[in-house]
């Protein structure tokens, strides 16, 4: 059996095929950006006490803004709705006294929501706007403090302190349960406790000039929120034997002469 192959037509067709596009040239572009030096995430279940977000009258008593909301007479249940993080305040930011290059940061979360009190038959007695606060501390690496100042016309004010890192906090909260908190004496309900689920991401960044290539989104590690106890930190340090053991003559002569042997100080 014979096969007829039109070689000429094949070559003619190949000559008309489009050429593949040239490879994309990758460039390292310099950018000025907030480089994240350290970050962590935290997932907490916390209990917060409801305070009045505005003046309100409950059972004939005037409750001022910021005071604890009492339980109305006849209330059999309470729910918390429209729960959200209203504000996050950076309370303090200082270099850590225990870890070089790390910073101790304290933030305050302000939650806003609405309490609905009902009778045992589910009839609504009262709806009250409420808020609560929750403080949290964390320690992250932000590099050593310095005394330089950065000036730019990009930001309002023109300059900012370049010696300290910038704090970033992302948060999402949800009300898991609201219930009455009773007194220890007569077991009567006195106020409202809201069990809250709080998700947080903390970051420390600095304004720097970088050559970058994106690798997509990053997932922060889990936060270590164990507070640093000064005595525990001190007891965990290695005993400085070199401080109590003066150098012998041969090693002392080398140091005095400017001869540095790294093996002597390991």
Question: What does the alpha-carbon distance between residue 156 and residue 22 come to, in Å, rounded to a whole number?
Answer: 44
Q: What is the pLDDT of residue 210?
A: 83
**Strand ranges of the sheet holding 102-118, from the earlier edge strand across to the other edge:** 51-52, 124-141, 102-118, 77-95
Neighbours of 239 (CB within 10 A): 7
Q: What is the pLDDT of residue 189?
A: 85
pLDDT tens string for the chain (266 positions)?
454 545 455 445 455 566 677 766 667 778 888 889 999 999 999 999 999 999 999 999 999 999 999 999 999 999 999 999 999 999 999 999 988 899 999 999 999 999 999 999 889 999 999 999 999 999 999 998 877 777 777 767 655 666 889 999 999 999 999 999 887 766 788 899 999 999 999 999 988 888 877 767 778 888 876 666 667 766 777 766 666 666 666 665 555 555 444 444 44
Please tell me what DSSP assigns to residue 53. Answer: S
Q: What is the pLDDT of residue 262?
A: 42
Q: What is the pLDDT of residue 7?
A: 47
Q: What is the pLDDT of residue 18?
A: 66
Question: What does the alpha-carbon distance between residue 90 and residue 109 come to, in Å, rounded to a whole number?
Answer: 9
């Amino acid at each position: 059996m014979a096969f007829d192959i039109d070689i000429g037509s094949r070559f003619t067709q190949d000559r008309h095929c489009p050429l593949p596009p040239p490879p994309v040239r990758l460039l390292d572009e310099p950018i000025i950006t907030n480089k994240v030096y350290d970050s962590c995430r935290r997932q907490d279940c916390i209990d917060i006490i409801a305070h009045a977000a505005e003046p309100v009258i409950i059972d004939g008593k005037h409750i001022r803004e910021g005071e604890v909301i009492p339980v109305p007479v006849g209330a059999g249940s309470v729910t918390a709705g429209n729960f959200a993080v209203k504000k996050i305040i950076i309370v303090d930011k200082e270099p850590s006294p225990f870890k070089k290059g790390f910073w101790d940061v304290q933030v305050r979360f302000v939650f806003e929501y609405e309490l609905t009190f009902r009778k045992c038959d589910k009839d609504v007695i009262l709806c009250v706007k409420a808020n609560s606060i929750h403080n949290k501390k964390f320690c992250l690496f932000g590099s050593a403090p310095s005394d330089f100042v950065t000036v730019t016309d990009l930001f309002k004010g023109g300059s900012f302190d370049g010696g300290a890192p910038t704090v970033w906090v992302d948060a999402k909260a949800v009300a898991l349960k609201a219930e009455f908190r009773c007194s220890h004496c007569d077991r009567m309900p006195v106020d409202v406790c809201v069990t809250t689920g709080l998700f947080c991401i903390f970051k420390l960044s600095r304004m720097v000039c970088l050559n970058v290539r994106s690798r997509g989104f990053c997932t922060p590690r889990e936060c270590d929120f164990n507070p640093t106890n000064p005595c525990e930190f001190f007891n965990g340090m290695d005993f400085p034997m070199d401080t109590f053991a003066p150098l012998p003559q041969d090693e002392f002569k080398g140091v005095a002469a400017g001869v540095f042997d790294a093996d002597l100080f390991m």
